[in-house]
Copies of this chain bind each other. A is one copy, B any other.
Amino acid sequence: MLPPTLSPTPLYHALTRSFTRIHRLGHLQSMAQWDQAANMPPRGNEARAAAMAEMAALMHRLRTDPQLGRELEGASSEALDDAQRANLREMRRQWNSATALPEALVERRSMATSRCEHAWRSQRQANDWAGFLPNLREVLQITRECAQRLSDHSGLAPYDALMDQFEPGMTSAVVQRVFGDVRQWLPGLIQQVMERQAMRTLLVPQGPFPLAAQRQLCERVMHLLSFDFQAGRLDVSAHPFSGGVPEDVRLTTRFREDDFLQSLMGTVHETGHGRYEQNLPRELLGQPVAEARSMAIHESQSLSYEMQLGGHPGFARLLSPMLVEAFGDQAAFMPENLHRLLTRVKPGYIRVDADEVTYPAHVIMRFEIERALVEGEIEAEDIPALWDTAMMDLLGLDTRGNFKDGPMQDVHWPEGLFGYFPCYSLGAMYAAQWFAAMRRAVPDLDARIEAGDLAVVFDWLRENIWLPASRWTTDELAGRASGETLNPAHFRAHLEARYLR
């Protein structure tokens, strides 16, 4: 590499160095976060929190260094190629996001969400909506302030400005159109699927399932899914997640002796996230253009693994002998029964436990409520009534008075994460769209998956999603990969093909 002073694009060159530096220091943050969840003993918490806050402040200073702003300004007139321009676009996006909010507001938000989230942990257990409400009101109030600032900065509507931080380019107009359509056909589809499934027999696996055997099983399945254990690990934490850095991905799960499917399929989900990270373009790591495209695209990878592959009859066939080896022979482990277990549809209160058919209902209602909250159309005290109505309309469930398993079940709002929920279902839709594209490219795709050849799937994802990373906008990425931008018809077709045929 040329020294910056001799580079024909000195400003761009200086920017790449600064972003590499931020990426390297971020590595230590990611590892400490993972360690906090997977290893840290309780009395280490206070010192860790202080260390993380110090590092966050330092990173914020680096990300908002006025020098960066000047270089971003000047670099656009340099002679950059298309890939460099894409990197510059992503740099500018990160810079805008880091500088849009004044530090005092970020601190107030951090204090309010810490307080709200901390209290929520016990209030949720106690079903204490009244206790939760004042904290949530404060978080909402600050969220609206942030949304307004971001809106002033970007010209987007306030809710759209929040969503843009997770899903650049997505607007609530699009989400409303897409979710509005799902709202029409989903309740009927759920009804139909449940009627069909009620008529078939289903054997439930009998535990206990020893934890050591579960762990081994999860690692075997991760191997099957081509997770690179030379560049990542599986560990245990209370709330499963995919963390670490692209070069060293740290997945977590949790085990229950009476049920292995939850941790196994959770692991399959996180493995999808992990393989995306492990296969980002290595030679560009450290540059914004080499980061995962967006939260919906990330979720489209975890759901390609957990739902598209996990619910495929071929997956049950691959898994069946592994279960027998892990836990001994049971009739419930026969491929056909296993496939039924992995595609069982049942409306329930809890989003994170939902199957792929009922899941969108949970997301749609959250989106409708949080958009109205941010735009000032409703207040925090209006949530329960709206929640109850939506749950009855969409899933036929009565949630009145059950705040714990109702609007208090998720950590997102207490944490001030508004605008994130849509990504879950957009991800499910993109995943269906990728598999539809794959079927066009590889006409015998299903036969090959049935025959245990998963590489055909991974190769397509690597080529079309993982390696492009943030080279294109999301719409461009989807267009290049599948010939069209987000098209939710593929999701509906997928559900009908899998559950009604």
Contacts and interface: CB of A to CB of B under 8 A. Distances in A.
A247 interface: yes
Contact of A25 (B41, B54, B229): B54
A232 B24 CA distance: 27
Contacts of A58: 25
Contacts of A262: none
A283 interface: no
Nearest to A42: B230
A203 interface: no
Contacts of A53: 24
B245 A39 contact: no
A247 B25 contact: no
A228 B42 CA distance: 11
Contacts of A54: 21, 24-25
How many copies the complex holds: the figure is 2
A205 to B, nearest CB: 27
A35 interface: yes
A229 B247 CA distance: 31
A364 B27 CA distance: 42
Nearest to A231: B43
B245 A41 contact: no
A247 B21 contact: no
Interface stretch (A6-14, A44-52, A83-91, A147-155): A44-52
A248 B48 contact: yes
Contacts of A157: none
Contacts of A39: 233
A60 B35 CA distance: 25
Given A35-B35, A248-B47, A230 B41 contact: yes
Given A21-B54, A25-B58, A51-B25, A247 B46 contact: yes
Nearest to A248: B44
A51 B27 contact: yes
Nearest to A230: B43
Identify whether the interface residues of A are mostly helix, strand, loop, or mixed.
helix
A231 B48 CA distance: 12
Contact of A28 (B29, B40, B41): B29
A202 interface: no
A53 B443 CA distance: 49
A58 B53 CA distance: 17
A365 to B, nearest CB: 40
A182 interface: no
B41 A229 contact: yes
Contacts of A27: 32, 47-48, 50-51
A224 B285 CA distance: 47
B41 A233 contact: yes
B43 A248 contact: yes
Contacts of A225: none
A248 B41 contact: yes
A284 to B, nearest CB: 13
A61 to B, nearest CB: 12
A251 to B, nearest CB: 12
A55 interface: yes
A386 interface: no
Contact of A44 (B47, B48, B51, B247): B247
Nearest to A36: B31
Contacts of A246: 47
Given A43-B230, A232-B41, A285-B47, A25 B55 contact: yes
A19 to B, nearest CB: 12
A47 B247 contact: yes
A248 B24 contact: no
Most central of A39, A47, A50, A230 by chain B CB within 10 Å: A47
Nearest to A245: B47
Contacts of A47: 24, 27, 245-248, 285
Nearest to A54: B24
Q: Which 7 A-B pairs have the closest CB atoms?
A: A44-B248, A47-B247, A27-B51, A43-B231, A24-B54, A43-B230, A24-B51
Given A21-B54, A25-B51, A41-B233, 5 more contacts: A24-B51, A41-B229, A41-B231, A41-B248, A43-B248
26 contacts: A21-B54, A24-B47, A24-B50, A24-B53, A24-B55, A25-B54, A25-B58, A27-B47, A27-B48, A27-B50, A27-B51, A28-B32, A28-B55, A31-B31, A39-B233, A41-B229, A41-B230, A41-B232, A41-B233, A41-B248, A43-B228, A43-B231, A44-B231, A44-B232, A44-B248, A47-B246
